[in-house]
Amino acid sequence: MRIFKTLHWKLCILSVLLALTISVWRVDAAFIRGPTNYLVGVGISDVTGPAADVNMMGYTMLSQKVKGIHLRLRSRAYIVVDQNTGKRNVFASVDICMASTPVRRLTLTKLSEKFGDMYNDLNVAISGTHTHAGPAGFLQYTSFQILSSGYVKENTETIASGIFDSIVRAHESLQPGNIYVASGDLADANTNRSPYAYDNNPQVEKDQYKTNTDTEMVLLKFTTTDGKVLGSVNWFPVHCTSMYNNNTYISGDNKGYAGYLMEKTFNGPDTLPGTGSVHAFAQSNMGDVSPNTLGAFCEDTGEPCEYKTSTCNGKNELCQGRGPGWTVSDFESTRIIGERQAKKAMELLDNAVTPVTGSVDYRHQFINMPEYSFELNGNNVTLCKAAMGYSFAAGTTDGPGAFDFKQGDNSTGNAFWNFVRGAIKKPSAELVKCQEPKPILLATGETTFPYAWGPAITDVQVLKIGNFVILAVPGEFTTMAGRRLRKAAKETLVKNGVIGDDGIVVLAGPANEYTHYVTTFEEYTIQRYEGASTIYGPNTLDAYINIYNDLSKSFADGITPNPGDPPPDLTGKAITLLAAVIVDVPPIGKKFGDILQNVDANSTFTPGQQVSIQFVTGNPRNNHFRDDSFMYVQKLDESNGQWVNVRTDGDWSTRYSWLDNSKASVTWEIEPETVAGKYKIVYQGSNKLLTGKIEKHSGESLEFFVEKS
Ligand SMILES: *[C@@H]1O[C@H](CO)[C@@H](O)[C@H](O)[C@H]1NC(C)=O
Ligand SMILES: *[C@@H]1O[C@H](CO)[C@@H](O)[C@H](O)[C@H]1NC(C)=O
Ligand SMILES: *[C@@H]1O[C@H](CO)[C@@H](O)[C@H](O)[C@H]1NC(C)=O
Ligand SMILES: *[C@@H]1O[C@H](CO)[C@@H](O)[C@H](O)[C@H]1NC(C)=O
């Protein structure tokens, strides 16, 4: 029943979106052919890594391991070239929890091999959408690797290859074009999950804003000179934590679905995901911003959680945020929060008529944060070595902490954690003083076994596209922290004549590297999860404001700031405890590619029903089938007898499930817009032999019919 209701609702939305699309085309056809001084390019590719065995990145849940694919993860890239100066900027929004130094380095290395120094540290920004439903292991510091059994090279390489491909495609599509900007309010897609900390900000400051989260979505639309839409990118703050911390399917979460839905709407229901016009839903200042818009409740009693601590009877494990689809599933909440963002973005795209004009420029630096000193209210202040407070271990209402970080606990069952557990240093007196009032749980900045536990050196970056400025930040800024940074940077940019009063400044991140959270000083003193995770101490935000002000000023001075020393490369000595796939063995009497559960011969399905098959295959880690798929739904084209791919494992309606013991299943929930006709499901996989050789295999289901219900 529920399925039918959902599908009808989906159909409804789809037609609204289609109508919007049509009106977009009408507007564009009549559009002014303004003089352009930009070349613009957009590109999309696949960054889906291992679909088995690896922990998910984000929730710090040791038990949350990947076991299949719901939505494929994408990288969406946008290039703008200033034709007057030849200067160019790249912004890539990637369905990963955060960007990282290994991913960034590998991507830039690939770019330099192909393009020389055209794309480099200065002009390429890589920003994560913060999905908590993607495989981990792509960060280089110890504390991030505890959950992934070390460094996962195969994932890092897949992510970097996908980002690289998206940038290459954007480069290859460069053409004279225009960029337009629009912004508007989206009220029902986010909520503040730490209002107790937010409320500690000064009343006069809070009074300037109507809500305790930013509800503005800002969108850039890229078109050809005659108005054809190439793609769009928007920034809106909301955690990609609609999927719960017990989910095992790879997913781009609410922003991944929003991008998928907008692209499907534009490109047509039977186009394959990852093709056609490109629409990114990029992340912004979402540090304290949850998609669980109904609030946080105790799972046992159904009562709201305790306000200050988000606990139930003193315990955090039972306090869970509820998304709008919580009575159905986390998939449903993901769909609703994604759809709300997609609808708003379609509307903004339709209304984006204000051109972006002016020169393209960029600034980037590496900053050693613990050594950074600056003047604050007349005092010379230096930041602290990194440390995490006790509330970090408690987690948040989006994913209550179940990962016991406490020292001396023997029972985590994680090989990497057992290996490094004894290495955690007692914080020095100096660190305790510097981080006050944070009670220190993990002195990550003072712990170096087997290598550094957290970043000291991080990227800071500003991209300027005319009067539109992107602050790419290496962490999760809370609502108010983001507002302060944007406001300060804009004032500096305007005062120095870099942009006009009508200029727009957005915050994008977690970009380039990950340094956890950044709260305001006042929020820090409350020491909820976000404050406990503000790693360089109480003055972290003020330091960033100082740094981005300096970068903003340098545009006017024409000075290239000191690039700074890059972070170390730890991937060479990185420990990997994730067991390799040794060999895949089919069940007795079966061979790879055999089908175990088929559709019935000559069967007929109607929309809302599910088609399901199971087959013998190898571990999906053997080959990620990037920019491809483990399965395709094919439709027979009666006019020529050809089978045409109409769905992949990256579609919302399909799921690929790894079932262990050399078995996988595939399901397709038939959507209402599905055209009647003859269909089949084809699948592929690869298996590893004892010799180490990897073989491909494939198969297909019986043919079946889809009729209109
Ligand atoms: C995941 O967690 C949610 C919320 O606690 C719960 O309702 C759901 O049943 C769990 N799902 C699985 C597969 O355990
Ligand atoms: C601030 O203190 C640091 C560390 O003692 C020092 O290196 C720096 O020069 C000082 N800066 C100013 C502006 O006094
Ligand atoms: C951890 O393990 C060691 C060695 O097996 C044991 O001596 C110690 O008591 C254990 N600690 C806890 C907290 O269980
Ligand atoms: C399926 O339909 C075809 C064509 O109508 C027929 O020849 C065949 O016997 C049917 N198979 C089964 C198992 O019913």
User: Cα separation of 187 and 113, whole Å?
Assistant: 45
Strand partners, 476: 517
For residue range 426-478, list pLDDT tens digits in order. 899 999 999 999 998 889 999 988 899 999 999 999 999 999 999 999 999 99
User: Cα separation of 103 and 96, whole Å?
Assistant: 11
* pLDDT: which is higher, 579 or 209: 209
| CB 410 less than 6 A from any atom of ligand 2 | no
* pLDDT at res. 587: 95
For residue range 600-654, list pLDDT tens digits in order. 999 999 999 999 999 999 999 999 999 999 999 999 999 999 999 999 999 999 9
**Residue 342: DSSP 8-state:** H
Question: What is the SS3 string spanning 453-500?
Answer: CCCCEEEEEEEEECCEEEEECCCEECHHHHHHHHHHHHHHHHHCCCCC
616 phi/psi in degrees, rounded to 5: -90, 125
User: Cα separation of 173 and 12, whole Å?
Assistant: 34
Annotated binding residue 347? no
Beta strands, E only, 340-485: 354-355, 360-368, 373-376, 379-382, 388-389, 395-396, 399-400, 440-442, 457-465, 468-472, 476-477
**Smallest Cα–Cα separation from 644: which of 272, 325, 134?**
272
For residue range 117-150, list pLDDT tens digits in order. 999 999 999 999 999 999 999 999 998 888 777 8
Q: Among 599, 602, 604, name the best residue to mutate to test ligand 4's pocket (greatest count of ligand atoms within 8 A of Cβ).
A: 602
> Choosing from 148, 161, 284, 290, which is the catalytic residue?
290
* pLDDT at res. 27: 40
* pLDDT at res. 407: 39
Annotated binding residue 476? yes
**pLDDT of 12 above 90:** no
Annotated binding residue 180? no
| Residues 13-38: b if buried by 16+ CB within 10 A, e if exposed | bbeebbebbeebeeebeebeeeebbb
Angle between helices 153-172 and 101-115 (to 10 degrees): 40
pTM for the model stands at 0.92
* pLDDT at res. 166: 98
Q: Among 373, 377, 430, name the best residue to mutate to test ligand 2's pocket (greatest count of ligand atoms within 8 A of Cβ).
A: 373
For residue range 555-571, list pLDDT tens digits in order. 998 889 999 999 999 99
Q: Identify the residue whose C-alpha is closest to ligand 2 atom 6.
A: 373
Q: Among 410, 412, 421, name the best residue to mutate to test ligand 3's pocket (greatest count of ligand atoms within 8 A of Cβ).
A: 410
Annotated binding residue 132? no
Q: What is the DSSP string of 84-141?
A: TT--EEEEEEESSSS--HHHHHHHHHHHHHHHTTSS-TTTEEEEE--BSSSB-----S
Q: Is the peptide bond before 437 cis (omega within 30 degrees of 0)?
A: yes
Q: Is 511 helix (H, G, I), strand (E, B) or coil?
A: strand
Q: Is 588 helix (H, G, I), strand (E, B) or coil?
A: coil
Residue with tokens 């981005």: 548
* pLDDT at res. 162: 98
Q: Cβ neighbours of residue 490 under 8 Å, at least 6 residues apart?
A: 469, 499, 503, 505
Q: Is 290 a catalytic residue?
A: yes
Average pLDDT over the chain reads 92
* pLDDT at res. 33: 41
Ligand minimally distant from the alpha carbon of residue 247: 1
**pLDDT of 358 above 80:** yes
| CB 397 less than 6 A from any atom of ligand 1 | no
307-325: average pLDDT: 89
pLDDT confidence tier of residue 354, bands split at 50, 70 and 90: very high
pLDDT confidence tier of residue 373, bands split at 50, 70 and 90: very high
**pLDDT of 367 above 60:** yes
* pLDDT at res. 660: 85
**pLDDT of 405 above 70:** no
Contact 693, 635 (CB under 8 A): no
**pLDDT of 31 above 60:** no
* pLDDT at res. 401: 58
User: Cα separation of 89 and 279, whole Å?
Assistant: 18
Question: Quick one: how far is CA 578 from the chain centroid?
Answer: 23
Strand partners, 78: 42, 91
Q: Is the peptide bond before 566 cis (omega within 30 degrees of 0)?
A: no
* pLDDT at res. 28: 41
Q: How far apart are the CA of 402 and the centre of ligand 1, in A?
A: 14
For residue range 650-666, list pLDDT tens digits in order. 999 999 999 989 999 99
